[in-house]
């Protein structure tokens, strides 16, 4: 809605969506390394804080260039993987699949309810107010994370044994990311993830052209 108001055509909207895809593609491995080094709670806190900043920048966007600027925090907006980190650390192995499936269900319900609420708020109060509500919701999520999730979600024994090793690792270690890509099946899953995401962008473009 805001892109239309600021004069974006189909081509520039495509550029905007591509920018988000590239930023998140770059940010995914970096965010994963951040979680490995600093822990699941720190990763989830960063994701919630980034989401809040994302919505604040959207609320104050009054120029086409600002729509690109407000996408920058999406490099760390990986809330679902961060939640999966927390649940994986805090759940017992035999109950992990059940916990992760319930987490997926909650995210599904949240996306449906959030989209519906966002549409109603945009219709009645405008896009800026809706963005402010999103920022407030993300800030509230950050408060819940800091209040109820323990600082260290891993058990003390394995954590202490690898503490010195983690201290010597850098978050932005391209060598470590490359090493992980060499594990059996990782590169294949990575490529499948990229390829399966292409139809969604194509369908979005077709919808815009039909409009």
Higher pLDDT: 187 or 136? It is 136
pLDDT of residue 53 exceeding 80, the answer is yes
Give the containing element (helix H, strand E) for 57: helix 40-59
pLDDT at 41 over 90: yes
Alpha-carbon distance 20 to 162, whole Å?
A: 35
pLDDT range class, residue 196, cuts 50, 70, 90: low
Kindly state the average pLDDT of the residues 158-166.
46
| Residue 11 neighbours by CB distance under 10 Å | 10
Would you give the distance in Å from CA 207 to the centre of its chain?
A: 24
More confident residue, 210 or 41: 41
Select the highest-mean-pLDDT range: 3-17, 30-44, 162-176: 30-44
Rounded Cα–Cα distance for residues 45 and 145 (Å): 7
pTM of the model: 0.73
How confident is the model over 172-192, as pLDDT tens digits? 566 766 777 777 877 777 777
Cα torsion angle, 192, 81, 106, 130, sign: negative
């Amino acid at each position: 809605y805001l892109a239309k108001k600021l004069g974006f055509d189909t081509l520039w909207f495509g550029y905007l969506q591509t920018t988000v895809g590239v930023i998140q593609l770059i940010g995914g491995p970096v965010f994963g390394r951040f979680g490995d080094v600093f822990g699941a709670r720190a990763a989830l806190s960063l994701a919630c804080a980034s989401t809040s900043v994302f919505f604040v920048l959207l609320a104050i966007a009054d120029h086409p260039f600002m729509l690109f600027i407000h996408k920058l925090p999406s490099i760390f907006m990986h809330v679902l993987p961060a939640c999966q980190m927390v649940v994986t650390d805090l759940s017992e192995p035999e109950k992990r699949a059940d916990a992760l499936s319930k987490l997926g269900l909650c995210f599904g319900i949240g996306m449906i309810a959030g989209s519906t609420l966002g549409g109603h708020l945009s219709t009645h109060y405008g896009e800026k107010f809706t963005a402010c509500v999103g920022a407030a919701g993300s800030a509230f999520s950050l408060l819940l994370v800091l209040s109820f999730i323990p600082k260290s979600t891993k058990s003390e024994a394995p954590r202490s044994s690898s503490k010195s090793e983690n201290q010597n690792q850098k978050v932005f270690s391209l060598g470590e990311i490359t090493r992980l890509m060499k594990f059996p099946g990782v590169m294949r899953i990575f490529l499948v993830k990229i390829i399966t995401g292409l139809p969604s962008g194509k369908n979005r473009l077709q919808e815009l052209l039909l409009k």
